[in-house]
Amino acid sequence: MTTTTTAAIPVPAVEQSDDRPQRARQRRGLAPGKRLPASRLIGPALFVALWAVASAAGQLDPGAIPAPWTVVRTTGQLWTDGTLPTDVLTSLERAAYGFALGLTAGVLLALAAGLSRVGEALIDGTVQLNRAIPTLGLIPLFILWLGIGETFKIAIIAIVVYIPIYLNLHAALSGIDHRYVELAEVQGLSRVRFVREIVIPGALPGFFVGLRLGVTGSWLSLVVLEQINATSGLGYMMFQAQNYGRTDIILVGLLIYGVFGLVSDSTVRLIERKVLSWRRTLSS
C-alpha cells in the first residue's frame, strides 16, 4: 500500500493593521487643542472693535458712552497732568496690602481647619458664617471700629480675598484621596514629609482657583471702597467724574480696573501652569 504524504502548504500570515495612530488622533480630536499665548485678548479686542464701529456709525450716545478714541484722549490728558499716575499707585497700594493680608489669613486658616479636626470645628463654621454675610454690608461696622481712613478699606479687601482662598484650599485639602494617606503611613513618612509630598501637591490646584477668585475680588471691592471718604484712587476719580457728568473719565477708571484684573488673573494662571506642569489636564 502506497502512502501519499501531503506537504503542508504555508498560509501567509494576515497582517493586522495597527490602529493606534488612528485612536490617538481620535483622542486628540476630543481635546480643545493647544492655546495660543494671546488667545484671551481676542474677546476684549472684538468688544473694542464693535464699540468703535457703533460709535463711528452714530449708534451710541457720546454723552452716555463716549467713543474709544475719546476715552484714549482723556486717558492721555489725565496722565499728562499727573492725576492718573497718583490714583493708579494709590489703588495698587490698597489692593496689594489687602490682598497680602487676605492671602495670609486664607492659607493659614485653611491649613488649620484642613489638617486638624479641632481646627475645623473652631474655624470652618465661623468662616461659613462670614461667607453668608455680604462683605460690603460690613462697611458701616468697620468704619465704627477702625475709623474712616485707610485701615477699614484694607480690612474689607482682606475679607473679600481670604474667603475664596480659604474655601477652595480647604476643599482641596479635604478632597485628598485617603489612599495617599494610607500609602504615606505604610511608607512611614513623617508629618513634615507627608505635608510636603502629599498635602501640598494635592491642594495646589484648589489653592490656585481660590487665588484667582481672590485677585479678582480685591479689584471688585476696591471700586466701592475708594468712593468712601477717599482723596485719591481710581474709585475716587470716578466718583468725582460722576458729579461733573464726565462719563469718559468713568470709563477710563473702569477700563483700568478691567486691565488690572485681566493682568493679575493672567499672571496667576501663568504661575499655575509653571507650578503644576506635572499635572495633565484638558487644557494641557
Asked if residue 60 is part of any domain, the answer here is no
Count structural domains, the chain.
Answer: 1
Asked if residue 110 is part of any domain, the answer here is yes
d(CA 245, CA 270): 39
pTM above 0.75, yes or no: yes
Cell numbers describing residue 132: 453668608
pLDDT of residue 1: 45
Give me the CATH number covering residue 89: 1.10.3720.10
* CA proximity to 228, closest of 133, 157, 134, 132: 157
Asked if residue 113 is part of any domain, the answer here is yes
pLDDT of residue 4: 46
Asked if residue 86 is part of any domain, the answer here is yes
Asked if residue 58 is part of any domain, the answer here is no
Length of the chain: 284
Range of the domain at 210: 72-275
Asked if residue 52 is part of any domain, the answer here is no
Burial of 157 (0-12, 13-18, 19+ CB in 10 A): buried
- The one-character DSSP state at 197 is I
Asked if residue 170 is part of any domain, the answer here is yes
**247-275 and 68-80 helices, crossing angle to 10°:** 90
CA angle 112, 118, 120 (to 5 degrees): 55
Asked if residue 176 is part of any domain, the answer here is yes
Average pLDDT by stretches of 10, the chain with 284 residues: 47 52 56 61 87 89 88 93 91 94 95 89 91 87 88 93 95 84 79 82 90 92 85 89 90 92 90 81 52
